[in-house]
Homo-oligomer: A and B are copies of this chain.
Amino acid sequence: MTRTLASQTPEKMGEQVLLKGWVHVRRDHGKIVFIDLRDRSGLVQIVLTPKLAGHLHAEDVVYITGQVVARPDQLVNPKLASGTVEVRADRVELVSKAAKLPFDMGGVDLNLELPTLLDYRSLVLRHPKVQAIFKVQAVLINAFREALLSQDFLEFQAPVIIPAIPEGGAEVFKFPYFKSQAYLSQSPQLYKSLLVGAFERVFSVNKIFRAEPSVTTRHLTEATSLDAELGFIDSWTEVQDLEEYVVKYIFARLSDKCAAELALFHATIPQVPAKIPVIKLRDAQEIIFQRTGRDCRREKDLAPEDEREICLYTTEKLGSELVFISHFLTAKKPFYVYPDPENSEYAYSVDLLGRGVEWSSGGQRLHDYATILEHVKTWGLQPEDVELYLQSFRYGVPPLGGFALGAERMTMNILGLKNIREASLFPRDLERVDVRLSSLKK
């Protein structure tokens, strides 16, 4: 018999079906036992005799044969796709026996502390609400791709192993590479820019690495970066326009495909107007000062509290939970940054903040070879450490720019998760790589 998924049972009313899945919850009511069977499509209620139910408990893998019957009206479960039916089991095959669970997995919420969520990651990932996080993330990442493919961008595989760290050696993982050494990439920035010289428009879904020496709620040592870069721009604002298009495309896809998952988190797609506001750093700081009396007007960047405040402002006053902050200080940005010709102290750089948190950074990059070389020297770098990059610009690259969105940051922020670790299947940090590092033998 062909397998029927839980969500397909209402279409098979009265029919004999074969279901395959996990015992999600078992409820004993004397002469009758109810099991919520879980498979990749969701849950369906099974009715069994105590004898058929035997010693089945949560997470046992079972194949169940039975008849689909309608539930009485008063017992219909509107929260379940299969809530109008149940399956009367006549045969149960135990395929894989589970150990007794360390905690209850049957509730709508898991109600566990973060260490437990991570210590039992293989098990925790089976919970429907946890699974919803990664369904949302998969849709988000694929929407990023679709948006850019529709604009004639080429997807490329960005390198993880890199030969040098032009932006300084802090917070970078270094390792022996045969007779030499190499590093884990902190950003595919140089690669995507140099590829504009070849393909004009490129994007990449890639891993970035940061030896973050402290434990925060919004940093991982391994994260997923959504990078895009395009050439032949007429203005730095084209970069921001592209990013706005991509983010809105992602929002549309999430609305369309993830309504149930968003509802589980009581989450909504961030509200944005026809045009996401753009505020220069110095103007943002003035607004924050006017609103709070906190004088950050001479700071070189926005502090987390500033990011929250400026988002509050745009949400309240401009109806936008997202805001672009532009014109950061040239000297605080990497060597490839494009200074504003009207005031080179500030740069054509633009971050996107969403609901109080930085989602992305980006901007226009230098394309003139002589200027880049000058910047390399001013920034105190070795030209040979960026040789492949310089090579590209030596042979003619058009005006260009791009941006990078953090996939886990966005997932966390849209769903309202408290810790970025919840938005990573296998979060890595100072203390943990799958297991607590202290538990591993050296």
**Structural contact, B122 and A398, CB atoms closer than 8 A:** no
Residue of B nearest to A163 (CB): B433
Indicate if A441 sits at the interface (CB-CB under 8 A).
yes
Interface 9-mer from A25-33, A134-142, A345-353: A134-142
Report the nearest B residue to A222, measured CB to CB: B161
Q: A20-B232, A161-B209, A398-B20 are in contact. Are A435 and B388 (CB under 8 A)?
A: yes
Contact of A157 among B152, B224, B389, B437 (CB under 8 A): B224
Given contacts A3-B232, A60-B396, 12 further A-B contacts (CB under 8 A): A61-B398, A95-B398, A98-B396, A122-B391, A123-B395, A126-B395, A142-B155, A160-B184, A161-B222, A163-B440, A180-B442, A182-B433
Contact with B along A215-257 (1 / 0, CB 8 A): 0000001101000000010000000000000000000000000
A96 & B396 in contact (Cβ 8 Å cutoff): yes
**Bound: A93/B303 CA distance, A:** 43
- CA–CA, A121 and B182, complex, Å: 19
Q: Which residue in B121, B142, B175, B211 is a CB contact (below 8 Å) of A388?
A: B121
Kindly state whether residue A430 has any CB partner on chain B within 8 Å.
yes
Q: Which residues of B contact A95 (CB under 8 A)?
A: 398-399
Tell me which residues across on chain B come within 8 A of A224, comparing CB atoms.
157
Partner of A200, one of B40, B160, B175: B40
Copies of the chain in the assembly: 2
Which residues of chain A have a CB within 8 Å of any CB of chain B?
3, 20, 22, 39-40, 59-61, 95-99, 101, 120-123, 125-126, 131, 134-135, 138, 141-142, 145, 149, 152, 154-157, 159-164, 173-182, 184, 191, 194-195, 197-201, 205, 207, 209, 211, 213, 221-222, 224, 232, 367-369, 382, 384-385, 387-389, 391-399, 407, 425-426, 428, 430-431, 433-435, 437-442
Q: Point out the residue from B40, B59, B149, B156 that lies within 8 Å of A396, measured CB to CB.
A: B59
Contact partners of A98 in chain B: CB under 8 A: 394-396
Q: A161-B221, A162-B433, A198-B131 are in contact. Are A178 and B211 (CB under 8 A)?
A: yes
CA gap between A155 and B382 in the complex, in Å = 39
Is B163 within 8 A of A173, CB to CB? no
Known: A98-B394, A426-B191, A434-B162. A122 touches B40 (CB 8 A): no
Nearest residue (CB) in B for A368 is B96
Q: Which residue from B213, B222, B382, B407 sits with its C-beta under 8 Å from A159?
A: B222
